[in-house]
C-alpha cells in the first residue's frame, strides 16, 4: 500500500494547492495499487509536529505500507536534521521514499546522497528566510518601531505613520499611568517589592491582564527602559553593561523611552548580563525621569530593597551600619534597663571580631550621623544654583559631548598600542588635546550642574525640618538614599555617601 502525503503552509495564488500535489503523486502509482492520502493544511515545514503527518508515521508501524510519495521533498520538512530522522524511521519500517517531481530512489546509495543534497538547499532556504526576517526585525527596532506584543503596564498602543510607514507606538494609559508612577515613588521611598504588590492588591489595583501583583511583576516594570526619559546617564548605564546601543549618543536628549532586545538566560534570576542585548531609542516619550529610574536600577541590581536587612525596629541606621574592624553589621541589643546598644555581629554571632568595644550607645551614634546628614543638606542648600535656573538640556548635552570625547580617546589608545613610533607620537598629541577638551567640558559641567536629585532632596529637607516628628521609616528612607555605608570604630564614625 502507498501513502501519499501533502502539505500547504498558506493558501496563495502562486503556491501549489493540496489537490495539485495529490494529482502529481497519484500519477506515479501503478493502476490498481491501493493508496491512502494524508493532508496537513496550514502547517509549516519548519518542524514535523503536524497531525496528519504524525498519524501517518504511526500507521507505518502496521507494516502494510511499502512506499511514501510526496509532491516535493520540502513537503516533508525543510530541516535536514528532521528529514534525516524521518528517513531513518522509513528505513526502520521498510518504507521507500519517492518524490513525484524529483527523481529519487532511496533504495540506492546515489539516490540517498542526492536526496540529502536537496535537503541541504531546503535548509539553506529556510535559514536565509530566517536571517532576512531577523535583519528586518532589528532594522525596524533600530528606528524605534513597536515590535509587537502587549504594551507594558502604564501604556496603550496607538497607530501612527512614520516615514510613510504605518506602525504602532506606546501612548500613556490614563488609568494605569498614575499607578505606574506611584509604583516608582513607593519603591524609591524604600518600600519593598512585596509590600508594593500587597498594597496594590489590597487596593484592588489589577495588572494589565487583570491579575494580582507579585514581586517579580513589579521588578520587571521597574527594570523596563520603556519608561525612562533616556539621557546621557541612561546611555552611560547601558554602555557600561556592554549593551549594543543602536542610536548615537546625540539622540539621548532626555525625552524618548527605550526598547531593550535580547533574551535572559533561564539560570539568571535578574537581568544582570546584558552584553548580548540591543538598546534603541523608541518613538514614544518616556514617563520617568532618568534620575529616578537609575536609582531604581541601583536598588534592584544590589538588592537594596528592604529584605531582612534594614528592618530593625530599634534604629533607623539598621542595615547600613558596619563594624570598622571586621565588616560585619552592627546590631541593636536592648539591655535590661531598656538602654539600646550597638554590638558587632561578627563577634556575637561568629566570634570573628575582638577589636570592637561592646555597647556603643545607639542614640549617640544616631545623633552623630544625623548631624552629618544635616551638614550635607546645608551644603546643598548653600549652592548658588537652583533647579529652576538649571538648563537640564544643556547639562545633558555637555555629558553627551564628554562621552563622545571619551570614545575618541579610547579609540586613540587602541591605535597607540598597535602603532609605530611616529604614529604613536602623533596620536599622543591628539590624545592630549582631547584630554584638555574633556577637562574643559567637565569644568563647564561642574559650573552648570545642580545635583540631578535636587527635586528629590526637597522631600529629604522636609523630613529634616521636621526630624523629631518624622517616623522611623521616614528617617530610614533618608539614610538609605543619602548613605551607602556607615563604618564605626571605637573612636570614629565614617560615612560613605551616595551623593
Residue 442 above 80 pLDDT? no
CA atoms within 13 A on the CB side of 150: 7
Predicted confidence band of residue 425 (pLDDT cuts 50, 70, 90)? low
pLDDT (tens digit per residue) in 63-97: 999 999 999 888 988 777 677 778 889 989 999 99
- CA dist 8 and 42 (Å) reads 6
- CA dist 180 and 294 (Å) reads 16
- Grid coordinates in use for 495? 560615612
Q: Where are the beta strands (DSSP E) in 314-432?
A: 321-323, 330-334, 340-344, 360-361
Backbone angles phi, psi at 155, to 5 degrees: -125, 155
Judge contact between 254 and 393, C-beta under 8 A.
yes
Q: Which residue has the cell 501517518?
A: 56
Residues 97-123 have a mean pLDDT of 75
Q: So what's the pLDDT on residue 418?
A: 64
With a threshold of 0.85, does the pTM exceed it?
A: no
The strands making up 256-261's β-sheet, listed across from edge to edge, are 244-245, 278-285, 256-261
Residue 227 above 80 pLDDT? yes
Rg of the chain's alpha carbons, rounded to an integer? 33
Judge contact between 125 and 73, C-beta under 8 A.
no
Q: So what's the pLDDT on residue 172?
A: 94
Cα 58 from chain centroid? 44
Domain ranges of the chain: 2-138, 155-302, 321-384+454-497, 392-448
Residue 197 above 90 pLDDT? yes
Q: So what's the pLDDT on residue 277?
A: 86
Closest listed residue to residue 229, CA positions, set 248, 256, 190: 256
Strand partners of residue 159? 168
Cα 89 from chain centroid? 43
Residues 182-210 have a mean pLDDT of 90
Homologous superfamily assigned to 2-138: Resolvase, N-terminal catalytic domain (3.40.50.1390)
CATH 3.90.1750 matches 155-302 = yes
- CA dist 114 and 102 (Å) reads 10
Closest listed residue to residue 2, CA positions, set 115, 85, 98, 128: 98
Amino acid at each position: 500500500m502507498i501513502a501519499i502525503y501533502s502539505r500547504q503552509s498558506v493558501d496563495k495564488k502562486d503556491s501549489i494547492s493540496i489537490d495539485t500535489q495529490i494529482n502529481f503523486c497519484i500519477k506515479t502509482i501503478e493502476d490498481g495499487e491501493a493508496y491512502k492520502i494524508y493532508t496537513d493544511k496550514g502547517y509549516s515545514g519548519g518542524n514535523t509536529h503536524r497531525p496528519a503527518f504524525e498519524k501517518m508515521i504511526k500507521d507505518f508501524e502496521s507494516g502494510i505500507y511499502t512506499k511514501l510519495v510526496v509532491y516535493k521533498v520540502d513537503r516533508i520538512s525543510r530541516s535536514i536534521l528532521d528529514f534525516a530522522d524521518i528517513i531513518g524511521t522509513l528505513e526502520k519500517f521498510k518504507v521507500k521514499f519517492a518524490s513525484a517531481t524529483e527523481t529519487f530512489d532511496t533504495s540506492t546509495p546515489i539516490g540517498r546522497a542526492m536526496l540529502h543534497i536537496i535537503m541541504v538547499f531546503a535548509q539553506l532556504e529556510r535559514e536565509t528566510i530566517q536571517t532576512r526576517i531577523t535583519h528586518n526585525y532589528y532594522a525596524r527596532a533600530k528606528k524605534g518601531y513597536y515590535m509587537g506584543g502587549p504594551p507594558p503596564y502604564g501604556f496603550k498602543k496607538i497607530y501612527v505613520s512614520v516615514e510613510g510607514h504605518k506602525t504602532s507606538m506606546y501612548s500613556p494609559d490614563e488609568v494605569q499611568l498614575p499607578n505606574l508612577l506611584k509604583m516608582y515613588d513607593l519603591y524609591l521611598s524604600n518600600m519593598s517589592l512585596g509590600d508594593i504588590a500587597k498594597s496594590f492588591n489590597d487596593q484592588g489595583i489589577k495588572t494589565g491582564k487583570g491579575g494580582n501583583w507579585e514581586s517579580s511583576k513589579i521588578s520587571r516594570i521597574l527594570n523596563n527602559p520603556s519608561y525612562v526619559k533616556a539621557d546621557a546617564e541612561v546611555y552611560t548605564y547601558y554602555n557600561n553593561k556592554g549593551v549594543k546601543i543602536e542610536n548615537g549618543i546625540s539622540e539621548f536628549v532626555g525625552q524618548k523611552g527605550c526598547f531593550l532586545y535580547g533574551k535572559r538566560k533561564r539560570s539568571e534570576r535578574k537581568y544582570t548580563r546584558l552584553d548580548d542585548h540591543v538598546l534603541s531609542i523608541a518613538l514614544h516619550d518616556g514617563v520617568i525621569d532618568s534620575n529616578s529610574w537609575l536609582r531604581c536600577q541601583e536598588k534592584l541590581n544590589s538588592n537594596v530593597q528592604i529584605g531582612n536587612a534594614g528592618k530593625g525596629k530599634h534604629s533607623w541606621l539598621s542595615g547600613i551600619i558596619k563594624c570598622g574592624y571586621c565588616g560585619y553589621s552592627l546590631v541593636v541589643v536592648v539591655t535590661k534597663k531598656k538602654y539600646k546598644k550597638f554590638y558587632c555581629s561578627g563577634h556575637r554571632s561568629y566570634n570573628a571580631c575582638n577589636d570592637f568595644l561592646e555597647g556603643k550607645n545607639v542614640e549617640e551614634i544616631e545623633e552623630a550621623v544625623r548631624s552629618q546628614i544635616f551638614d550635607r543638606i546645608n551644603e546643598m542648600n548653600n549652592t548658588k544654583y537652583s533647579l529652576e535656573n538649571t538648563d537640564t538640556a544643556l547639562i545633558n548635552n555637555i555629558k553627551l559631548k564628554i562621552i563622545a570625547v571619551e570614545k575618541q580617546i579610547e579609540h586613540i589608545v587602541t591605535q597607540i598600542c598597535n602603532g609605530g613610533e611616529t604614529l604613536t607620537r602623533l596620536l599622543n598629541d591628539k590624545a592630549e588635546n582631547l584630554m584638555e577638551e574633556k577637562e574643559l567640558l567637565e569644568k563647564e559641567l561642574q559650573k552648570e550642574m545642580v545635583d540631578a536629585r535636587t527635586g528629590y532632596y526637597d522631600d529629604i529637607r522636609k523630613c529634616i525640618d521636621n526630624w523629631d516628628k518624622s517616623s522611623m521609616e521616614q528617617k530610614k528612607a533618608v539614610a538609605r538614599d543619602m548613605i551607602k555605608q556607615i563604618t564605626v570604630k571605637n573612636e570614629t564614625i565614617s560615612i560613605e555617601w551616595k551623593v
